[in-house]
Amino acid sequence: MEHIQHKLHLWFGKQKKACIELLRRLVQEASTQANEATAQALIIEKCRQLQLQLDIWEPEIEKLKEHPYFVSARTAFHNSPNVVAVWKGTGGGRSLILNSHIDVVPEGDVTQWEADPYSGMVKDGKLYGRGASDMKGGTVALLLAMEALQALGIRLKGDVIFQSVIEEESGGVGTLAAILRGYRADGAIIPEPTDMKLFPKQQGSLWFRLTVRGKSAHGGTRYEGVSAIEKAWGVFACLQQLETERNKRINDPLYHHVPIPIPINIGTIRGGTWPSSVPDCVVLEGRMGVAPNETIEQAKREMEEALQSLSEHDKWFQSNPVELEWFGAQWLPSSIETSHPLLQTVTKAYREVKGADPVIEAAPWGTDGGLLTQVGAIPTVVFGPGTTAVAHYPNEYIEIDRVLEAAEMIACAMIDWCGVDGV
Amino acid sequence: MEHIQHKLHLWFGKQKKACIELLRRLVQEASTQANEATAQALIIEKCRQLQLQLDIWEPEIEKLKEHPYFVSARTAFHNSPNVVAVWKGTGGGRSLILNSHIDVVPEGDVTQWEADPYSGMVKDGKLYGRGASDMKGGTVALLLAMEALQALGIRLKGDVIFQSVIEEESGGVGTLAAILRGYRADGAIIPEPTDMKLFPKQQGSLWFRLTVRGKSAHGGTRYEGVSAIEKAWGVFACLQQLETERNKRINDPLYHHVPIPIPINIGTIRGGTWPSSVPDCVVLEGRMGVAPNETIEQAKREMEEALQSLSEHDKWFQSNPVELEWFGAQWLPSSIETSHPLLQTVTKAYREVKGADPVIEAAPWGTDGGLLTQVGAIPTVVFGPGTTAVAHYPNEYIEIDRVLEAAEMIACAMIDWCGVDGV
């Protein structure tokens, strides 16, 4: 095995140029929601070169939408193919899903980007562009890991199921469709941008919309009205208290250094229409973190109860209850024990390449790992290059060396998990 | 005089149909900002019938914009004529300005109206439509008052200067233009919708925009960011405290029954762009009341100081001060003593028609009376039919009987103030 690792290390040492080339081409395809096809075409071509068994299909919304964890604002997935590519093992080993999403969030305000958001420009060892960290760098790491093993003539015992899915950024329909199509494995790795940390547990999340009512009046006689902004302050305080209570219960050591393991974030606020009128409506939108060991139904119920309790302290809410709507995306939480063999495998692979122990934490955000573990019963570790500090922001980038490093670790993990034929 | 009042009363008793007809036609002309011309055409025609000396002109922005109290977002007033119509007195009496604005605020959400916003529909003694209360009902009251005196053959000693101005709802350029054109008088009556109360004092107001900064982050690690919404809460509380302090100083008995004489109203709030991101910017817009005996410069300075004091309790504001912008409309405050002869005249007229004492209060909002008193040095009483409870809202209406009642009172006041030739 020492020998294989050494060969792997040498092989990756020569891949920088190829890594940049593949990642640049992927980043240059602006695969925002509903525009995934051309980026998937690059994936398909690469998988074909690797002689994997390709399964390419457009998820059928009619079949999916009845599923309790189906979340999407789309009405169809035409021209938004899911790609699964299987590298069959020789038999007798553990199977492994390598899951990565091809969709990227929109580039946002272009003027805040120093270069074209889809330039794929390389500077000081970093490749820039929307999706570089989240998560085309991870995708390239997976593809390189498979290529490395093939290049060294290694044949794995267990099956490797590479998945390039759509819709992760909007709730996970791509991964859900792959699970419902029957893809299962003994474990899964998702190379989301963890900054090379290992996440055996991850927070789920729910989006909510709160409508707070007031009563309009002229600003000069504002005492004749009820300010929805003022009432929204009370709602905000209520959610802060709920957040405090929920986080007090989190005693998992993986959250030891996290100030707020499962935050409730108010992301947007909109209210009123005229400076000199008392606003009669405020709408708040936000994200509620769901603990790894909690169901989304439990989390929803807690917020519902908290909002109902508002009327105990403020009678206004008795006749004007806050309207709560769960909308948009949701990510299921996910959890495997820290003693789980898959985590040990990835930990070992990390040590082999890096010569140091990895940081093991609970993820502050959800991934498709929630669907894999909860719907597919597939133990999942999230681990990858790139960092969320730059994901979703202007001038997103990834360090090329981290992509190669993660690829090498994943290759090592594949060997350990799936087993090598003839060794 | 008893005799004249009796005749006036009989005359107004027959004007209901004519009153409705004129008011309906005025309401049916949707004289929102920049669309005043057709409504002014009706005014001009009526003034011509009354044989008044007409002065019709489009205010020249180049001349006006240097004035310290010029407020307008417009770049020209083409096809937005101001109308002044003078009824020359025989001499020796006090002159009186009858000021009314022809512009109306937009109809807003049409679906909230039970009928067309400009229908002029009459139902249960009320005439409906945008501008019915604010303030075409008042305009009709002024026109009927002059018509009544002429019908009875009364000739006043003092000049009566009727003004149908543009732009009151946006800061008063029409009245400012009339003052700068040279129109002055010994007193002025503005029949804004006071619900038949007499307002010798009125609150001024200023519009402000506050930009509150935060620091963006992913909602799952919201502790890495600074929520601009949370910071905006602090700004809101600061303004509430400022409002409390400012109102403590108001000891004018006219404000005795007013819970908040000079409110600070936050009318709109906008912040954040994504439910699962920490919002890095919140913009608040509002209206600050200015006391009748206060200058707008004093009021501005107090808010500036209050916002500066935020950094004493929260260091965030030291490096991220709240940005304050005075924008949009402003109305100067206005005040005459309760012992002023003009107020006595209107009070007497009210008693003569109604047989009861009027309610005398300080106005909770600004009118063009601020410009008349502060720029024109013209003592002003605001008094009229209609109510601000329906002004600026869907299904605005006015009670026809109140229009006629106010018209009769104004006719009586004209007789008392200007004096009657030959009596």
**Domain residue spans in chain B?**
2-202+333-418, 205-331
Tell me the pTM.
0.83
Token pair belonging to B109 = 């959400």
Q: What does CATH list as the number for A204-328?
A: 3.30.70.360
Instruction: Answer for the pair B141, B76: CB distance below 8 angstroms, yes or no.
Output: no
Give the closest residue to A276 by CA, choosing from B296, B364, B243: B364
pLDDT of residue A45 exceeding 70, the answer is yes
The pair of structure tokens assigned to B392 is 């600026």
For B66, residues 6+ apart whose C-beta sits below 8 A from its C-beta are none
User: Token pair for residue B11?
Assistant: 């005359």
- Mean pLDDT of all residues in A316-336: 94
Q: Is B8 exposed, middle or buried (0-12, 13-18, 19+ CB in 10 A)?
A: buried
pLDDT at A389: 81
Q: How far is residue B394's CA from residue B112's CA, in Å, rounded to a whole number?
A: 6
Could you tell me the two tokens for A322? 């806050």
How many angstroms separate the CA atoms of A103 and B248, rounded? 58
- Residue A3 pLDDT exceeds 90: no
Cβ distance B220 to A205 less than 8 Å, yes or no, reads yes
More confident residue, A2 or A374: A374
Say if residues A94 and A187 touch (Cβ distance below 8 Å): yes
Give the CATH number of domain B2-202+333-418.
3.40.630.10
Q: In sequence order, which residues have a C-beta less than 8 Å from that of residue B46 and are 6 or more positions away? A: B22, B143
In the block, tokens 């071509």 appear at: A45
Q: Which of A370, A373, A362, A366 is nearest to A253 (CA)?
A: A362
| A90-141 pLDDT per residue, tens | 999 999 999 999 999 998 888 889 999 999 999 999 999 999 999 999 999 9
- What is the average pLDDT value for chain A, to the nearest integer? 95
Element (H, E) at A58: none
Q: Dihedral of CA A105/A108/A110/A114: which sign?
A: negative
Report the distance separating Cα A259 and Cα B223, nearest Å. 7
**CA–CA dist B405, B400 (Å, integer):** 9
Does A6 have pLDDT greater than 80?
Answer: yes
B103 a catalytic residue? yes
Contacts of A329 in chain B (CB under 8 A): 276
DSSP for A235-246, written as a single string? HHHHHHHHHHHH
Does residue A262 surpass a pLDDT of 90? yes
Distances (CA, A) of A99 to A34, A113, A176, A416, B246: 19, 29, 12, 18, 62
Q: Is A208 on the interface with B (CB under 8 A)?
A: yes
Q: Alpha-carbon distance A400 to A288, whole Å?
A: 33
Maximum separation of any 2 CA atoms in chain B, in Å: 85
CB contacts of B205 in chain A (<8 Å) are: 219-220, 276
Q: Which of A77, A67, A86 is nearest to A164 (CA)?
A: A86
With tokens 């605020």, the residue in question is B105
Whole-angstrom distance, CA of residue A104 vs CA of residue A136: 9
Tokens at residue A369, please?
């790992």
Q: What is the pLDDT of residues B297-347, one digit of tens each?
A: 999 999 999 999 999 999 999 999 999 999 988 899 999 999 999 999 999
Q: What is the pLDDT along chain B (423 residues), one digit of tens a residue?
A: 678 999 999 999 999 999 999 999 999 999 999 999 999 999 999 999 999 999 999 999 999 999 999 998 899 999 999 999 999 999 999 999 999 999 999 988 888 899 999 999 999 999 999 999 999 999 999 999 999 999 999 999 999 999 999 999 988 999 999 999 999 999 999 999 999 999 999 999 999 999 999 998 888 889 999 999 999 999 999 999 999 999 999 999 999 888 999 999 999 999 999 898 999 999 999 999 999 989 999 999 999 999 999 999 999 999 999 999 999 888 999 999 999 999 999 999 999 999 999 999 998 888 999 999 999 999 999 999 999 888 888 999 999 999 999 999 999 999 999 999 886
Over residues A302-322, mean pLDDT? 97
Q: How confident is the model at residue A1 (pLDDT cuts 50, 70, 90)?
A: low
What ipTM, to 2 d.p.?
Answer: 0.83
Among the options A36, A55, A147, A168, which is catalytic? A168
Q: Which of A203, A267, A276 is facing B274, going by the closest CB pair?
A: A267
Looking at residue A279, its pLDDT comes to 95
Residue B264, SS3 per DSSP: strand
| Contact indicator for A299, A366 with CB cutoff of 8 Å | no
Shortest Cα–Cα distance, B360 to chain A (Å): 16
Which residues is A97 bridged to in the sheet? A161, A188
- A60 flagged as catalytic: no
Total residue count of chain B as it appears in this document: 423
Task: Choose, from B29, B36, B103, B294, the residue flagged as catalytic.
Answer: B103
Neighbours of A260 (CB within 10 A): 19
Would you state the CATH architecture of domain B205-331? 2-Layer Sandwich (3.30)
Residue of B nearest to A204 (CA): B220
- Residue B382 makes CB contacts below 8 A (sequence gap 6+) with B189, B190, B191, B192, B194, B198, B199, B202, B363, B367, B369
Burial class (CB in 10 A: 0-12, 13-18, 19+), A50: middle
d(CA A263, CA A69): 22
**Gap from B88 CA to chain A (nearest CA, Å):** 37
